Amino acid sequence: MSSDSTDTPPLKGVERIQAYLKTLPDAPGVYRMLDAKGDVLYVGKAKSLKKRVSAYAGGRPHSDRLTRMIADTAEMLFVTTASETEALLLESNLIKQLKPRYNVSYRDDKSFPNILLREDHPFPQLLKHRGAHSTKGTYFGPFASAKAVANTLNTLQRAFLLRSCSDSVFESRTRPCLLFQIKRCSAPCVQRIDQAGYAELVGEAEQFLSGKSRAVQDRLVADMNTAAEETRFEDAARLRDRIRAMSHVQLNQGINPSSFSDADVFALHGEGGETCIQVFFFRAGQNWGNKPYFPKQGLDIASGEVLEQFIGQFYDERPAPKLILLSEAIPQGELLAEALELRAGRKIEIAVPQRGEKRDIVEMALTNAREQLGRRMAENAAQRELLDGVAELFGLEQPPRRIEVYDNSHIMGTNALGGMIVAGPDGFEKGEYRKFNIKSTELTPGDDYAMMREVLTRRFARLIKEGDDPKTKWPDLALIDGGPGQLAVACQVFADLGVEDVQLVGISKGPDRDAGREHFYLPGKDPFRLDPKSPVLYYLQRLRDEAHRFAIGSHRKKRSKAIGANPLDEIGGIGAARKRALLQHFGSARAVAAAGVTDIAAVEGVSGALARKIYDFFHPAG
């Protein structure tokens, strides 16, 4: 009796890899190795798919990491490409997208901020911009952080007096704002400067941000001296203040290179199985900030390979500058440069400087990487001790990998929302934070218990729905900001949904809401307090306070948006000028809503048809 073919266990490991060799081409491409669940273990590229895959199946000894990876491989997927360069680009894209277990990967999907000088208005606006370059204008960047942009914008306002207000605010001004009073804007909104004079300021700002700061500064110094000689002392003082502002930018940028204009610097330092890559941005001969990254990788991956894979992913959706400086050589530097050139459409150089100014700058970045990694390792050690303490305090079998903390915010029941923050071994995971706009129409305004019930129900019902999806992230511990009443609501939600493996804890402030006198509530146990000097108490307070900060901040944004919304903005045919005329005539949008058609038509610029349209908007038929 022949056995059914389904009884034969599926091939896995070396045997499974060998089965692909017969059909693989001797051509460049990208391969993916998957486990029995279909999760991607590894993404690699090859000049010859056949030769690369045969290396996994040839029986040669491998490192422990590769041996485990090969043993777990149950399936492989292949994509052929026209060249090894294209294979490298596709590999970087897939690693960043899939984050395979055995590849070097880092989590950073945010685009870097830029400074945008808009060119779609007679008086261009200077502002921070993040995302696609869809607005017409000149973009300067990238900057390492929003803080670096804010600091630079603050100084640029003082140096060049360009407006930062939106078009709607610009159009509605009737007198100068505070920025004019503190000498950070030239007030073009109320004709304190004409278009030609403003254009001159714009030109100077463009020159400064393009690396011609010395020429701009020299010209302003000459103008200041001339004004002083002609006894125009107020003009001379204004120019002096602008020159000081420009000098402030240069003094606070640290090293400003003279041997190159645009470059990114990557410096890697590894220690104790962890890695820090420090990235410095130089544009227009100016230092525009730096940012540390901590890629995850196997212990047996060489540092040059870590750096190479990191850079490939780093530029997957970002333009590379014409010069990239490294702290050490990477295995396929020429190929990576060729791939980046293919994407950018221009020449790109990757270099490891050995001497001179460039080497000094790389050494500075390397020192930053070393110090940053030291701080992180010290923080992680302290964090592990705190999580051990949390596990002991709340009876967890092991230190929690994911803690979720919930808090609600509202004012008299309005603009209600819930906030969830996440923390773990690496500290606060801000990319995992979530806010929940309270949707229930049956909820009594200000009912905190009902709000908590809705938030927890939505959160954990979704986790249950996602089921065994490997991307689903269940918490080990859920902290509720509240006392026994809030905890009882949370326990009921868990009972209704069948949630059993998450420890629930309520945390409430003590008498007079004094920090340090918090009470903790666990299901079925008496409430208790901790020693006010306990490090674990301090850690739990930080978690609770961060959840409160996030909920309050989200609520304020929601409330500000609601307060700032003007119903006139929703009516077609009403631009900034007509909106200003209506508000000046009636005093408020509410007064416009109460006016009759004849009264509205009496406003300058409002026709009879538009008056009827406005009236009908506020008085819909039926």
Would you kindly state where each structural domain of the chain is located, as residue ranges? 10-98, 114-251, 263-374, 403-562, 567-618
SS3 520: strand
* Whether the Cβ atoms of residue 369 and residue 278 lie closer than 8 Å to each other: yes
- DSSP tag of 135: S
At residue 148, the pLDDT reads 75
Distance (Å) of CA 164 to CA 115, 170, 362, 393, 561: 11, 9, 35, 51, 19
579-588: pLDDT as tens digits: 888 877 777 7
* Whether the Cβ atoms of residue 271 and residue 373 lie closer than 8 Å to each other: yes
Distance (Å) of CA 488 to CA 231, 403, 406, 494: 77, 19, 14, 10
At residue 555, the pLDDT reads 59
386: tokens are 């705190």
Domain 567-618 coded CATH 1.10.150.20 = yes
The C-alpha atoms of residue 34 and residue 13 are separated, in whole angstroms, by 10
Indicate the pLDDT class of residue 556, thresholds 50, 70 and 90. Answer: low
Which residues neighbour 285 within 8 Å (Cβ) at sequence distance 6 or greater?
211, 213, 256, 257, 258, 260, 261
Helix H, strand E, coil C: the string for 469-483 is CCCCCCCCEEEEECC
SS3 435: strand
For residue 275, give the nearest of 294, 290, 292 by alpha carbon. 294
> Which comes out higher in pLDDT, residue 61 or 69?
69
The C-alpha atoms of residue 347 and residue 320 are separated, in whole angstroms, by 10
Indicate the pLDDT class of residue 468, thresholds 50, 70 and 90. Answer: low
Angle at 387 between CA 384 and CA 390, to 5 degrees: 155
pLDDT at position 216 over 50? yes
Indicate the pLDDT class of residue 107, thresholds 50, 70 and 90. Answer: low
CATH architecture of 403-562: 2-Layer Sandwich (3.30)
* Whether the Cβ atoms of residue 185 and residue 179 lie closer than 8 Å to each other: yes
* Whether the Cβ atoms of residue 117 and residue 132 lie closer than 8 Å to each other: no
Q: Omega before 142 cis (within 30°)?
A: yes
2: tokens are 């022949």
pLDDT at position 25 over 70? yes
Helix H, strand E, coil C: the string for 548-596 is HHHHHHHHHHHHHHHHHCCHHHHCCCCCHHHHHHHHHHHCCHHHHHHCC
Only one residue has tokens 């930062």, namely 164
* Whether the Cβ atoms of residue 114 and residue 319 lie closer than 8 Å to each other: no
- DSSP tag of 105: B
- How deeply is 521 buried, as exposed, middle or buried, from its count of CB atoms within 10 A (0-12, 13-18, 19+)? buried
Check if 263-374 and 403-562 are the same fold.
Answer: yes
The highest-level CATH class for domain 10-98 is: alpha beta
Q: Which helix (H) or strand (E) holds 403?
A: strand 403-411
Amino acid at 48: S
At residue 210, the pLDDT reads 72
Mean pLDDT, the chain, whole residue set: 82
pLDDT at position 619 over 80? no
Which residues neighbour 157 within 8 Å (Cβ) at sequence distance 6 or greater?
126, 164, 179, 184, 185
Distance (Å) of CA 600 to CA 396, 568, 603, 606: 67, 13, 6, 7
* Whether the Cβ atoms of residue 156 and residue 127 lie closer than 8 Å to each other: no
* Whether the Cβ atoms of residue 100 and residue 40 lie closer than 8 Å to each other: yes
Only one residue has tokens 């491409």, namely 29
Amino acid at 68: R
pLDDT at position 1 over 50? no
Q: Which helix (H) or strand (E) holds 527?
A: none
**Taking the complete model, does pTM exceed 0.85, yes or no?**
no
At residue 410, the pLDDT reads 59
Please provide the distance, in angstroms rounded to a whole number, between the alpha carbons at the two ends of the chain: 80
> If you count DSSP H runs as helices and E runs as strands, how many of each does the chain have, helices first?
20, 18
The C-alpha atoms of residue 181 and residue 190 are separated, in whole angstroms, by 13
For residue 304, give the nearest of 364, 348, 368, 350 by alpha carbon. 350
The C-alpha atoms of residue 91 and residue 97 are separated, in whole angstroms, by 10
Distance (Å) of CA 286 to CA 118, 129, 250, 255, 311: 22, 19, 8, 8, 22
At residue 421, the pLDDT reads 93
The C-alpha atoms of residue 530 and residue 508 are separated, in whole angstroms, by 12
* Whether the Cβ atoms of residue 351 and residue 259 lie closer than 8 Å to each other: no
The C-alpha atoms of residue 63 and residue 43 are separated, in whole angstroms, by 17
At residue 451, the pLDDT reads 85
Residues in the chain, total: 622
Q: What is the strand order of the sheet 126-129 is part of?
A: 126-129, 114-118, 137-140
At residue 264, the pLDDT reads 92
pLDDT at position 209 over 60? yes
416: tokens are 């209600």
pLDDT at position 622 over 50? no
At residue 490, the pLDDT reads 93
The C-alpha atoms of residue 304 and residue 268 are separated, in whole angstroms, by 9
The C-alpha atoms of residue 224 and residue 243 are separated, in whole angstroms, by 9
Buried b (16+ CB within 10 A) or exposed e, 266-287: bbbbbeeebbbbbbbbbbbbbb
Angle at 75 between CA 70 and CA 80, to 5 degrees: 100
For residue 53, give the nearest of 84, 82, 76, 85 by alpha carbon. 76
Q: 263-374 — its CATH code?
A: 3.30.420.10
Residue 203: Cβ within 10 Å count: 12
User: Mean pLDDT, to the nearest integer, of 540-561?
Assistant: 77
